[in-house]
Structures are given as C-alpha cells and as structure tokens.
C-alpha cells in the first residue's frame, strides 16, 4: 500500500501557495491523492489559479473556511508571516486537525501558542514541524520531521505520507535535532551547488570548456550519490576504494586534508545549525 493511501480520505488545506506548497501538492496528486480533497489558499489569485489549473485542486482566498474543513492543515507561509496567520486561524480551524508546518525556524511550541484558544489549550494542539529542501520540487527531497506530544500515531503517519510524496521523510527524536537537519539537508543542496560551481570553475581554468566541465561534474555527482545510496559500503569505504596508493585521487584527497576540508564543512554546518536556533528564538518573541 502506498503511504499516500493514508491521506486519500483526508481533507488537506494548504495555507500558502509558494514553491514548497506547489511541490508537495504535485507529489500528492502524482501519487493518487484526489485533487478534490486538496484546497490551497493564498492572497494571490494568480498563484491559486495556477495550482488549480495544473493539478485540479480546489482554491480559495478564505483561509478560515478551508482550515475549518481540514483534517490536515499545512502551513506553508513565510516565517515572518506565521504568527499573524495562526492568530487569524485560531478560532476557525478544525480543532481535531494536525498542523503540518514547512516554515523554517518556527518551533512547535510557538505554533501551538499562536493557535491556542480558550477552548483548546496549546498543549492539546497537534503540531508536526518539518524541514524539507529544494530537491522536493523534483520528487527527490530529504525532509526531517518532529511531532509534538499531542500528535496521535495516525496523524504522524499522515504527516509522513505527505512529506514522503516528495522524497525521503525521516523522524527525529527531539526538536533541537531539526536544527541539525537544517544544517545537513535543509541547507545542504547549497553546499553541493557550491562544490559544483567550484569544480566547474577549476576545470575551466585548467583548460576544459565550461559546458564539458559542467556535464562531467554533474554526472559525477549524480553517479557518486547513486553509488553511495545503493552500495553496501559506507562513504569511508567507497572513498578508500577510489583512492589508490600514490595515485591521482590520493594526491587530491591529501590536498583537501591539508587544507582542512573536514574542519571547514564542520564549521559551516555548525554555523547553519546555530543560525537556525537563533531564528527560532527571534521568531518566538
């Protein structure tokens, strides 16, 4: 059974019609979720109409009406807008829905506090926080998820199904680990793009034409990733298998080590995680 069967009968409302919402909607429809069960809400008529035209989903400018009907409420607005959006939805949304946030830097506690009402305390609001990445747009995303204590197992399964529609979806054990996910996969595509850029530039300076350098670099990256994903060997073993003693690869690896590549990556990822934590603190104020 497809994971998306878990949400086939659920009403799913997207608040926000940006790139990530569009990617998830595309993945859900592709995997068989009925477009009639998906509603997208956004201020821009153009964005709503585009998604309705491409995927057949329902679209509306009325966030409150959509949230009132939703079993799963996906918050896909900019972090800076989230508090205001939640405040508007609080009295109108289905209190039995699970909240699925794809906004960076907003904690489960902040979302629950902003959505709380006299009739439903924050601790009883089911919130799943996610950290997807841009390859979700082509169905090859990598996403971390964390659920608040109010989230039932069925709701966790539904959240998993939604994010798995656009790639890999894995749960973390603590909300702090979402910041690490941000440093690994959330921001990770940019690290690889920088590596591609650097390799292409270097190859061009060494004498290859840019198109050839780009083709070879990107195919090498694709092949290496696929090999690492499908091999029984871990990354360390695979690297050693390519690195013959006194060979060309060994010389390149030695240069990387001498120039502290490991330390550079570790420092960059720590800086990313620290900034994610800082954003969460700033946005909670």
The annotated binding site for NADPH is made up of: 63
Per DSSP, the residues of 23-57 read HHHHHHHHTT--GGGEEEE-S-HHHHHHHHHHH--
Q: Is 78 exposed, middle or buried (0-12, 13-18, 19+ CB in 10 A)?
A: exposed
Strands (E), the chain: 12-15, 38-41, 58-60, 72-75, 98-101, 127-131, 141-147, 167-171
For 219-232, letters b (16+ CB in 10 Å) and e give eeeeeeeeeeeeee
Copy the structure tokens of residue 116: 């709380």
Q: Which residue is it, tokens 């009639």? A: 36
Q: Which residues are annotated as a binding site for NADP(+)?
A: 15-20, 76-79
Q: Which residue from 61, 76, 64 is spatially nearest to 111, judged by alpha carbons?
A: 76
Q: Which residues are annotated as a binding site?
A: 15-20, 63, 76-79
Copy the structure tokens of residue 61: 């400018």
CA distance 277 to 279: 5
Q: Go through the chain and tell me how many residues it has.
A: 285
Q: Is 145 helix (H, G, I), strand (E, B) or coil?
A: strand
Q: Which residue from 82, 121, 125, 117 is spatially nearest to 102, judged by alpha carbons?
A: 82
End-to-end CA distance of the chain: 43
Q: Are strands 141-147 and 127-131 parallel, antiparallel or unpaired?
A: antiparallel
């Amino acid at each position: 059974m497809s994971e998306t069967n878990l949400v086939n009968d659920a009403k799913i409302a997207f608040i926000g019609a940006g790139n990530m919402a569009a990617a998830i909607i595309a993945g859900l429809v592709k995997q068989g979720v009925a477009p009639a069960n998906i509603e997208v809400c956004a201020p821009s008529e153009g964005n709503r109409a585009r998604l309705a035209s491409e995927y057949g989903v329902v679209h509306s400018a009325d966030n409150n009406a959509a949230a009132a009907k939703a079993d799963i409420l996906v918050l896909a607005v900019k972090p800076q807008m989230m508090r205001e959006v939640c405040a508007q939805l609080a009295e109108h949304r289905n209190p039995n829905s699970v909240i699925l946030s794809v906004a960076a830097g907003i904690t489960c506690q902040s979302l629950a506090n902003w959505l709380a009402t006299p009739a439903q305390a924050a601790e009883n609001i089911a919130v799943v926080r996610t950290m997807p990445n841009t390859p979700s747009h082509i169905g090859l995303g990598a996403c971390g998820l964390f659920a608040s204590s109010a989230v039932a197992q069925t709701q966790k399964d539904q959240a998993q199904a939604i994010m798995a529609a656009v790639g890999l979806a894995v749960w973390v054990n603590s909300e702090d680990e979402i910041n690490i996910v941000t440093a690994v996969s959330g921001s990770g595509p940019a690290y690889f793009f920088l590596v591609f850029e650097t390799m292409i530039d270097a190859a061009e300076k060494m004498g290859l034409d840019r198109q050839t350098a780009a083709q070879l670099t990107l195919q090498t990256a694709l092949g290496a990733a696929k090999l690492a994903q499908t091999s029984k060997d871990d990354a360390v073993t695979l690297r050693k298998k390519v690195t013959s003693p006194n060979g060309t690869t060994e010389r390149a690896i030695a240069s990387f080590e001498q120039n502290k590549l490991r330390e550079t990556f570790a420092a960059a990822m720590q800086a990313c995680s620290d900034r994610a934590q800082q954003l969460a603190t700033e946005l909670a104020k």
